[in-house]
Amino acid sequence: MTGPGVSGVLTAGSQTWELTRRSVVGERRQLLSVMPGLVFPLLLAAVYTKQFSRVLDMPGFPEVDSFLDFILPACIVQAVSFGATAAGSELALDMENGFLDRLLASPVARWPILLGRLAGAAVVASAKTIVILALFLVFGARVAGGPAAMLVLVAVAALLVLVIGGLAQVMAFRTGSQEAVGATFPLIFVSIFMSSAFFPTNLMSGWFKVVAENNPLSWIINPVRRLVINGWSSADALQALGLPAALAAVTISAGVMALNRRLATP
């Protein structure tokens, strides 16, 4: 027989699935909000590949056949950033229209309320990554790490959404405002340019190099880029997945704590 604990987990899992499906369906119905996350990084990649082709000959620049190989991880991170705060924005919207209160008054378990939205955003991010990967390969990019490295790219994209989405959910609980959550996007976008996303840190100088080298995004992008350019490495895969996984655990836990504080507030 199934014990009450197992039954509770199965029920919560089913609830998480339904809320995930709701989030994905909502994104599908608003394709205009999803398309910039695909179109803008692809346009930027096209422009950069044309304009910066000469940097491939610079001493110290990674040996690649095409600038597309170098910029692939950056484009994926950029694409993810466009929808990363969706989990927090949706949560804030549910708070504004009263849907969250109805959920809390229902028999739905607490953590599926958060995980459902995060999982939905992660599914959308994974789909974007697959599309970008396919287009890059069509236009001549090469992933030296093979299918395994491509799976790591998709997984990293999903984990980054959990990290940023978890932070967005914390802000949603603190502010209760969809606009306040959305206002964090420029900070995320700028942090991408202040990393090694578009240029190797060994060729940078001054304060920009210091910031880029200590940007956590660089610690994720660099091993992913090595998987793309140099080939498969278990150590690089572990670093690329381990850091965002650890950060996701922290931000999701912070979201759960923020929800508990909201429930404890009279």
Cα angle at 60 between 53 and 194, to 5 degrees?
A: 75
The most confident of 14-18, 28-32, 81-85, 256-260, by mean pLDDT = 256-260
Where would I find the H helices in 98-184? 99-105, 110-138, 146-175, 178-182
Residue 179 predicted with pLDDT over 80? no
Say how far apart CA 150 and CA 141 lie, in whole Å: 12
Q: What is the mean pLDDT of residues 87-95?
A: 76
Mark 125-159 as b/e (b = at least 16 C-beta within 10 Å). bbbbbeebbeebeeeebebebeeebbebbbbbbbb
pLDDT-derived band of residue 17, with 50, 70 and 90 as boundaries? confident
Q: What is the mean pLDDT of residues 99-114?
A: 73
pLDDT value at position 12? 65
Q: Name the average pLDDT for the chain.
A: 83
CA distances in angstroms from 200 to 48, 68, 140, 171, listed in the order given: 14, 14, 21, 32
Length of the chain: 266
Say how far apart CA 144 and CA 229 lie, in whole Å: 6
pLDDT value at position 151? 96
CA distances in angstroms from 72 to 49, 215, 230, 262, listed in the order given: 11, 18, 14, 40
Q: What would the pLDDT profile of 23-79 be if each residue is shown by its tens digit?
A: 677 666 666 666 777 888 888 888 888 777 778 778 888 888 888 899 999 999 988
Residue 4 predicted with pLDDT over 50? no
Under a CB-based contact definition with an 8 Å cutoff, are residues 149 and 225 in contact?
no
Q: What is the mean pLDDT of residues 239-266?
A: 86
pLDDT-derived band of residue 266, with 50, 70 and 90 as boundaries? low
Reading the block at residue 192, the tokens are 């991408």
The predicted model scores a pTM of 0.85
pLDDT value at position 262? 74
Residue 3 predicted with pLDDT over 50? no
Backbone angles phi, psi at 100, to 5 degrees: -65, -40
pLDDT value at position 1? 40
